[in-house]
Amino acid sequence: MQGIYRSIARLTTSDLTVMISGESGTGKELVARALHEYGRRRNGPFVAVNMAALPREQIESELFGFERTGAQGRMPGRFEQATGGTLFLDEIGDMPQEAQTRLLRVLQEGEFTTVGGNQPLRADVRIVAATHRDLRQAIQAGTFREDLYYRLNVVPLRLPPLRERVEDIPLLARHFLNQCREEDGRLRQIDEAALTSLQAWRWPGNVRELENLIRRVVALHSQETITRELIEAELFDTASVGVVWHEGESGEDAGEPLSEAVSRHIARYLAAGREGTPLHDLHAQLVAEVERPLIQMTLVETRGNQIKAAAMLGLNRNTLRKKIRELDIPVVRGAG
């Protein structure tokens, strides 16, 4: 993390585009805000948009604004709202390909037009993007443009998962306890045995999960000293559904049930809704988000052979073809 801090300090004197990668909960938006607040554009707005929380059909109007006749008239998009400041494109790996093409054009030309408009507007923003996905794999799968990747990945910053920096856990736990003290005025301690238990946990939700745990313990228990028993009692329910202690494990998301990952993903949608992002057709959207990578990765595995893919998925071949068209899935065919 000291390396991350040094990189942030070096980037405060430039407007270079930054790509932040890391698992959910590692603090990508926190880094993006630090880049803005200590940079040359600190007096301008910081505008964050979560690409995963936007319906596909609204992404372009959300980013670039739109012009319509009637009561709605002209609505500025996030690029315009961020003029003079920083535009944070969170979960950029979830951006659909048609929007990727338009974003690439904006980055190349430095200007954009609203949806339905024809007057070019200057894109006076610094771009900071973030993703929890492996964009190189997405490029190979045909879901992310390689040229856009290199436009965004000018300065890459990787945030390590919490399980790779367990020495930071005591510092973070005490930091969150201090925040709770500032909010309710109560002084609490955490003993060494409790910290040892925290360091043994695998933390699939990373720093966000640790913060939530500390706040939960503080809210539910009145003791001034947080003990190992309290910590393990709160972690027990999570362990019982399949999330295990990290000792001896390796590999991203090993031991995390799919339901846990999906729950965290849904939580991001709902949080975006509370912040003002309109939410529509969540059921259909989330089903499509699971179905699309499932079909896409199966097709990659079968090297584009739809007969084999249909058999693996347990689908009728015509049904598979229909879903490929509806979900706009590229079919990469290999030899043999």
Residue 279 has phi, psi (to 5 degrees) of: -110, 130
pLDDT by residue (tens digit) across 75-92?
889 999 999 999 999 999
| Spatial CA neighbour of 289 closest among 91, 78, 99 | 91
The one-digit pLDDT tens for each residue of the chain (336 residues) are 889 999 999 999 999 999 999 999 999 999 999 999 999 999 999 999 999 888 888 888 899 988 876 556 678 899 999 999 999 999 999 998 889 999 999 999 999 888 877 888 999 999 999 999 999 999 998 999 999 999 999 999 999 999 999 999 999 999 999 999 988 888 899 999 999 989 988 888 999 999 999 999 998 888 899 999 889 888 865 544 444 444 444 344 444 567 767 776 777 667 666 666 667 777 877 787 788 878 877 887 787 889 999 999 999 989 999 888 887 776 655 433
Distance CA 36, CA 32 (A): 6
Kindly give the pairing relationship between strand 111-112 and strand 121-122: antiparallel
Residue 88 has phi, psi (to 5 degrees) of: -100, 115
Domains of the chain by start residue, with CATH: 2-160 (3.40.50.300), 163-240 (1.10.8.60), 281-326 (1.10.10.60)
pLDDT by residue (tens digit) across 255-266?
456 776 777 677
pLDDT at 275: 62
Distance CA 237, CA 254 (A): 18
Q: What is the DSSP string of 180-224?
A: HHHHH----EE-HHHHHHHHHB--TTHHHHHHHHHHHHHHH---S
pTM greater than the 0.75 cutoff? no
Distance CA 107, CA 98 (A): 15
Per-position b or e across 207-242, b if 16+ CB within 10 A of its CB:
bbbbbebbeebbeeeeeeebbbebbbebbeebeeee
Cβ contact 327:287 at 8 Å: no
pLDDT at 7: 93
Distance CA 330, CA 324 (A): 8
Q: What is the distance, to the nearest Å, from the Cα of residue 320 to the centroid of all Cα atoms in its chain? A: 29
